[in-house]
Amino acid sequence: SQELEQSPQSLIVQEGKNLTINCTSSKTLYGLYWYKQKYGEGLIFLMMLQKGGEEKSHEKITAKLDEKKQQSSLHITASQPSHAGIYLCGAAFSGNTPLVFGKGTRLSVIA
């Protein structure tokens, strides 16, 4: 959806390096969701952010929602091959509309 832009589209990093994926909305976010997808599989929920300035972490992955609630970043520290996959952000713009998704960021981690 054009309402939600992810960058970069793809990323190749060396194992052990840090990386950041961005998700920018054209509208104020009611909620922002991060998912990970491995090839041929469904989407796995990572984190949900709703409050401006909120930051959540799960293992080596940290996600943050900016104060204005129009952009979120996903940061991976010391990347590992297990982090490889497609990362998608999904946005709720209200409490009664389905999620809209970005086009995804394909992450490859090389040794």
Partner 1 sequence: DAEITQSPRHKITETGRQVTLACHQTWNHNNMFWYRQDLGHGLRLIHYSYGVQDTNKGEVSDGYSVSRSNTEDLPLTLESAASSQTSVYFCASSAGVGNSPLHFGNGTRLTVT
Q: Is 42 in the site for partner 1 (CB under 8 A)?
A: yes
Q: Is 56 in the site for partner 1 (CB under 8 A)?
A: no
Q: State the Cα–Cα distance between residues 87 and 12, nearest whole angstrom.
A: 13
Query: Least Å distance between CB 21 and partner 1?
Result: 14
Contact pick of 7, 28, 50, 82 for partner 1 (by CB under 8 A): 50
Choose among 90, 52, 56: nearest CA to 69. Answer: 52
- Cis geometry, peptide bond prior to residue 81 (ω within 30 degrees of 0): no
Q: Which stretch binds partner 1 (CB under 8 A): 17-25, 56-64, 67-75, 95-103?
A: 95-103
Q: State the Cα–Cα distance between residues 86 and 39, nearest whole angstrom.
A: 8
Q: Is 87 in the site for partner 1 (CB under 8 A)?
A: no
Q: Is 14 in the site for partner 1 (CB under 8 A)?
A: no
Contact pick of 13, 22, 24, 48 for partner 1 (by CB under 8 A): 48
Integer angstrom CA distances of residue 5 from 11, 34, 79: 15, 13, 23
**Coil, helix or strand at residue 81:** helix
Binding site residues, partner 1, CB under 8 A: 1, 30-31, 33, 35, 40-45, 48, 50, 88, 90, 92-104
